[in-house]
């Protein structure tokens, strides 16, 4: 695929090589005309000639910056706006350019920059329009309305002002709106907000309207392509994105999405009447049974809980390359999330895409699948905090150790009273003031749902869900279903969460200091000190199960001193609280097995299947344990998983599977596996013996 030559890359060269007459002949009007005609390269040359002629004129730089934005070169644009501000620090146009760039990344500073621009030039329409958009992104309709009307006061034809007001009406399911912008860019904005509210189908309709009015509005066409891809309509998605690409609209999202779709040939699809599972070929055989089983289990659970039967199959796509997943969801690499849901379509990281122990794939799958139900139940009208809150709630509802633990960011937020009021919680997801605020908001939303479930009931949560589906906002839903004012709810919830986390919050600094010392003692193998200090600090912050956890340090110390029961006790605590390190879980399983506690040993390894199912040795151990315990179906799955990992020892892997089939009285399959084992290693005696045994049994029949 060929890439567009970047304008920014040729800047200096052109300035140095343009002849003097050319420089003199250029005018701003010419540059603008060439830009309008999408003759970017020539327009760039003219702009650069103007800049060379008047290097202290910030206006040329700002206009060139705006063209660079349209030409999908945000870094170049940013540099030009910064240069303009160096020349004139209160250049409103440069400030609004920076604000627009920041708003594309949902940066909180976008609003501040727009406000600053307005202070300099109160009639600067774009800045006012941007403030209206930002308010609407925060789902703050009254503020968005106020800001949009201010924009219309500056210019009664303000496209973005009308688009924001029209969006408010349309998102509220009003059939008509008096603010219909009747312009391509207006519809693009409406489409953007429908997508932001996860109403992808409707968003796509507005993006289509935008490009009908202006086929050259490639920003809208690219959004259309990306959202079609999100919904799995890949053929048209590819066509739209390719059209953008060929017409010099080559932003990162367009390029990355096209590249990603080129890799789809590496995926295989498994369909059932209710599910579609897409897995990378290289790990499909291994992961399929585990994913299919959890998809089916989640759907059966949610169908009852949400009293909702889905009308079409749910699609789950699993990406071994995290950056592919990020592109699939945002069009851009670098996404911190683990999974994303688009209506009936879920995209998520594969367990192989993350460092072992850092990712609980089953918890992520259940989280995302719950979004499918909450989005469907509300026609995608659920606020972000509530759908995320329910999804987080579901993680621990299915198994207490699955969900994320209380982490230091959350402890810091509770301690410093940084939790948001329920009515403003969406802001923590959409416009976080710090990166940690998103994580804190997930935690808070999840605990709010836990709290409502505990103090009111599950039916109350369901009633809230349906109210949101009917278009009501958080304030009215809280009043209606919880029978209290939002402020009263906040007061009660904050008291609840502070009481619940008091131990960890109060002792956090002391624990942190103690952990540092503990790590030093562990490194020095001073086991007596590890036991003394570890025991003293462990329960100050029991939720900490990450790297250098107290449980693991204590277990290592006890093992070094030969006290296996105490080591097992520590590792069991670690496991039950939600410890995920594969080596520690395998160590727990091994010590339990050595202690004759084979059922618990198997449980520990089965828990690992939900975290990191890529470890062939763990599958083999679990298969062996289950075979002894008579769980032959489980043993078959585990030994088949070993084979799917292209094992180091294929003869042994086929033989193990043969043993499991034999135990399950599936003699034909057992024989097939034995033949495979012996084909690789004809002298493999245990396999020979089993083959003779099977042959004798068959002869008797």
Partner 1 sequence: MKTLAMLLLAALSAPAATGAVTYYLTIAGLGGEPDYAQRFKMWAEDIDGSLKKAGGDSSVTTLNAPQLEQIRTRFADLAKQAKPADSLVVILIGHGTYDGHDYKFNIPGADLTATELAALLDRVPAQRQLVVNMTSSSGGSIEQLRRPNRIVIAATKTGSEKNATNFARYFAEALREPAADTDKNESISALEAFRYAQTKTTEFFDTQKRLATEHSVIEDTGKGTGERTVTTENGQGKLAASFTVVRLGANAAAARDPNKRPLLDKKEQLEQAIEKLKFEKAAMPAQEYKRQLTQLLLELARTQEALDKP
| Candidate residues 56, 265, 685, 700; the one interacting with partner 1 per rule CB under 8 A | 685
| Candidate residues 156, 273, 435, 683; the one interacting with partner 1 per rule CB under 8 A | 683
- To partner 1, the closest distance from the beta carbon of 401 in angstroms equals 22
Q: How far apart are CA 103 and CA 493, in angstroms?
A: 32
Task: Compare residues 487 and 524 and give the one whose CB is closer to partner 1.
Answer: 524
**Within positions 654 to 673, which residues make up the interface with partner 1, using CB under 8 A?**
671
Residue 490 near residue 464 (C-beta atoms within 8 A):
no
678 part of the interface to partner 1, by CB under 8 A: yes
- To partner 1, the closest distance from the beta carbon of 524 in angstroms equals 12
**Within positions 597 to 636, which residues make up the interface with partner 1, using CB under 8 A?**
614
| Candidate residues 597, 650, 667, 669; the one interacting with partner 1 per rule CB under 8 A | 650
Task: Compare residues 315 and 522 and give the one whose CB is closer to partner 1.
Answer: 522
- To partner 1, the closest distance from the beta carbon of 80 in angstroms equals 36
- To partner 1, the closest distance from the beta carbon of 683 in angstroms equals 6
691 part of the interface to partner 1, by CB under 8 A: yes
| Candidate residues 355, 417, 700, 701; the one interacting with partner 1 per rule CB under 8 A | 355
Task: Compare residues 134 and 687 and give the one whose CB is closer to partner 1.
Answer: 687
Task: Compare residues 20 and 692 and give the one whose CB is closer to partner 1.
Answer: 692
524 part of the interface to partner 1, by CB under 8 A: no
- To partner 1, the closest distance from the beta carbon of 379 in angstroms equals 40
Q: For strand 314-319 and strand 339-342, is the pairing parallel, antiparallel, or unpaired?
A: unpaired
Stretch that binds partner 1, among 411-419, 445-453, 630-638, 681-689 (CB under 8 A): 681-689
| Candidate residues 157, 535, 648, 697; the one interacting with partner 1 per rule CB under 8 A | 648
Task: Compare residues 257 and 352 and give the one whose CB is closer to partner 1.
Answer: 352
Task: Compare residues 269 and 695 and give the one whose CB is closer to partner 1.
Answer: 695
Beta strands in 231-321 (DSSP E): 267-271, 275-280, 314-319
652 part of the interface to partner 1, by CB under 8 A: yes
- To partner 1, the closest distance from the beta carbon of 219 in angstroms equals 35
**DSSP codes joined into one string, 349-378:** E-GGGS-TTS--HHHHHHHHHHHHHHHHHT
Task: Compare residues 139 and 364 and give the one whose CB is closer to partner 1.
Answer: 364
Q: How far apart are CA 116 and CA 93, in angstroms?
A: 11
* 608: DSSP letter: H
Task: Compare residues 292 and 321 and give the one whose CB is closer to partner 1.
Answer: 321
680 part of the interface to partner 1, by CB under 8 A: yes
Using CB atoms within 10 Å of the CB of residue 178, give its burial: 0 to 12 exposed, 13 to 18 middle, 19+ buried: exposed
Stretch that binds partner 1, among 2-10, 247-255, 506-514, 677-685 (CB under 8 A): 677-685
Q: For strand 314-319 and strand 345-349, is the pairing parallel, antiparallel, or unpaired?
A: parallel
Size of the site for partner 1 (CB under 8 A): 26
359 part of the interface to partner 1, by CB under 8 A: no
- How many whole angstroms from its chain centre is CA 32? 40
242: how many CB neighbours lie within 10 A of its CB? 15
Q: How far apart are CA 343 and CA 688, in angstroms?
A: 53
- To partner 1, the closest distance from the beta carbon of 270 in angstroms equals 24
695 part of the interface to partner 1, by CB under 8 A: yes
336 part of the interface to partner 1, by CB under 8 A: no
Stretch that binds partner 1, among 98-106, 232-240, 372-380, 682-690 (CB under 8 A): 682-690
Cβ neighbours for 607, distance < 8 A, ≥ 6 positions apart: 401, 575, 585
Q: How far apart are CA 492 and CA 423, in angstroms?
A: 14
268 part of the interface to partner 1, by CB under 8 A: no
679 part of the interface to partner 1, by CB under 8 A: yes
Residue 407: closest CA among 520, 515, 505: 505
Q: How far apart are CA 465 and CA 382, in angstroms?
A: 7
| Candidate residues 124, 327, 478, 651; the one interacting with partner 1 per rule CB under 8 A | 651
Q: Helix or strand or coil: residue 279?
A: strand
**Within positions 67 to 86, which residues make up the interface with partner 1, using CB under 8 A?**
none
Task: Compare residues 175 and 685 and give the one whose CB is closer to partner 1.
Answer: 685
| Candidate residues 649, 664, 666, 669; the one interacting with partner 1 per rule CB under 8 A | 649
Residue 570: closest CA among 552, 591, 547, 548: 552
Residue 592 near residue 625 (C-beta atoms within 8 A):
no
- To partner 1, the closest distance from the beta carbon of 701 in angstroms equals 16
Task: Compare residues 268 and 675 and give the one whose CB is closer to partner 1.
Answer: 675
Instruction: Give start and end residues of each alpha helix (H) in 183-280.
Output: 184-196, 200-213, 218-230, 234-246, 252-262
Radius of gyration of the chain (CA): 30
Q: Helix or strand or coil: residue 316?
A: strand
- To partner 1, the closest distance from the beta carbon of 693 in angstroms equals 10
Q: How far apart are CA 57 and CA 50, in angstroms?
A: 9
681 part of the interface to partner 1, by CB under 8 A: yes
> Between the CA of residue 650 and those of 632, 647, 654, 671, 684, what are the distances in Å?
20, 5, 6, 15, 12
The CA-to-CA distance between both ends of the chain, in Å, stands at 64
Query: Could you tell me the two tokens for 389?
Result: 């809150």
Cα-based angle 277, 398, 505 (whole degrees, multiple of 5): 120
Residue 407 near residue 439 (C-beta atoms within 8 A):
yes
Chain residues binding partner 1 by CB under 8 A are 354-356, 614, 647-652, 671, 675, 678-685, 687-689, 691-692, 695
């Amino acid at each position: 695929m060929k890439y567009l030559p970047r304008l920014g890359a040729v800047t200096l060269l052109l300035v140095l090589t343009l002849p003097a007459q050319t420089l003199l002949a250029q005018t701003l009007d010419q540059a603008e005309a060439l830009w309008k005609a999408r003759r970017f390269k020539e327009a760039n040359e003219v702009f650069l000639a103007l800049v060379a002629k008047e290097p202290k004129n910030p206006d040329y730089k700002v206009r060139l910056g705006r063209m660079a934005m349209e030409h999908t070169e945000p870094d170049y644009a940013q540099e030009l706006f910064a240069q303009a501000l160096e020349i004139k620090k209160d250049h409103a146009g440069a400030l609004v350019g920076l604000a627009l760039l920041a708003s594309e990344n949902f940066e909180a500073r976008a609003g501040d920059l727009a406000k600053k621009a307005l202070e300099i030039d109160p009639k600067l329409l774009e800045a006012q329009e941007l403030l209206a958009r930002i308010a609407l992104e925060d789902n703050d309709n009254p503020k968005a309305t106020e800001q949009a009307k201010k924009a219309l006061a500056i210019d009664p034809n303000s496209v973005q002002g009308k688009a924001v007001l029209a969006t408010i009406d349309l998102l509220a399911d009003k059939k008509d709106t008096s603010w219909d912008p009747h312009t391509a860019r207006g519809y693009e904005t409406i489409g953007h907000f429908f997508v932001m509210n996860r109403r992808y189908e409707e968003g796509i309709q507005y993006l289509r309207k935008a490009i009908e009015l202006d086929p050259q509005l490639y920003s809208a066409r690219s959004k259309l392509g990306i959202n079609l891809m999100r919904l799995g309509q890949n053929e048209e998605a590819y066509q739209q994105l390719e059209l953008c690409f060929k017409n010099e609209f080559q932003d990162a999202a367009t390029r990355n999405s096209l590249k990603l779709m080129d890799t789809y040939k590496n995926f295989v699809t498994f369909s059932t009447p209710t599910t579609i599972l897409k897995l990378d070929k290289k790990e499909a055989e291994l992961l399929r049974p585990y994913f299919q089983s959890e998809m089916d289990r989640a759907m059966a659970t949610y169908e009852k809980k949400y009293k909702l039967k889905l009308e079409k199959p749910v699609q789950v796509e699993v990406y071994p390359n995290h950056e592919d997943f990020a592109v699939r969801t945002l069009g851009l690499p670098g996404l911190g999330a683990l999974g994303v849901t688009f209506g009936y379509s879920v995209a998520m990281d594969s367990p192989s895409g993350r460092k072992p122990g850092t990712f609980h794939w089953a918890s992520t799958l259940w989280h995302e699948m719950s979004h499918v139900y909450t989005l469907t139940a509300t026609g995608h009208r659920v606020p972000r905090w509530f759908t995320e809150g329910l999804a987080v709630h579901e993680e621990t509802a299915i198994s207490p150790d699955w969900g994320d633990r209380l982490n230091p960011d959350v402890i810091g937020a509770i301690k410093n009273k940084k939790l948001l009021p329920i009515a403003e919680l969406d802001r923590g997801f959409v416009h976080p003031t710090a990166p940690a605020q998103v994580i804190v908001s997930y935690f808070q939303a999840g605990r709010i749902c836990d709290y409502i479930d505990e103090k009111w009931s599950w039916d109350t949560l369901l009633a809230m869900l349906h109210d949101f589906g009917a278009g009501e906002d958080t304030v009215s839903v809280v009043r209606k279903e919880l029978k209290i004012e939002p402020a009263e709810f906040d007061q009660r919830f904050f008291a609840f969460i502070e009481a619940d986390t008091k131990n960890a919050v109060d002792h956090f600094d002391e624990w942190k200091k103690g952990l540092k010392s503990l790590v030093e003692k562990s490194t020095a193998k001073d086991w007596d000190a590890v036991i003394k200090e570890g025991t003293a600090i462990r329960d100050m912050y029991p939720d900490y199960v990450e790297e250098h956890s107290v449980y693991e340090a204590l277990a290592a110390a006890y093992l070094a001193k030969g006290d296996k029961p105490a080591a097992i006790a520590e590792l069991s605590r670690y496991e039950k609280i939600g410890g995920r390190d594969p080596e520690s879980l395998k160590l727990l399983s091994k010590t339990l097995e050595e202690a004759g506690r084979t059922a618990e040993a198997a449980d520990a390894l089965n828990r690992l299947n939900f975290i990191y199912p890529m470890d062939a040795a763990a599958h083999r151990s679990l298969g062996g344990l289950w075979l002894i315990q008579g769980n032959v179906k489980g043993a078959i799955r585990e030994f088949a998983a070993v084979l799917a990992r292209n094992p180091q020892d294929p003869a042994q892997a086929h033989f193990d599977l043969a043993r499991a089939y034999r135990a399950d009285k599936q003699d034909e399959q057992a024989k097939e596996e034995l033949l495979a084992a012996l084909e690789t290693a004809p002298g493999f005696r245990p396999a020979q013996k089993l083959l003779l045994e099977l042959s004798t049994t068959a002869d008797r029949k």
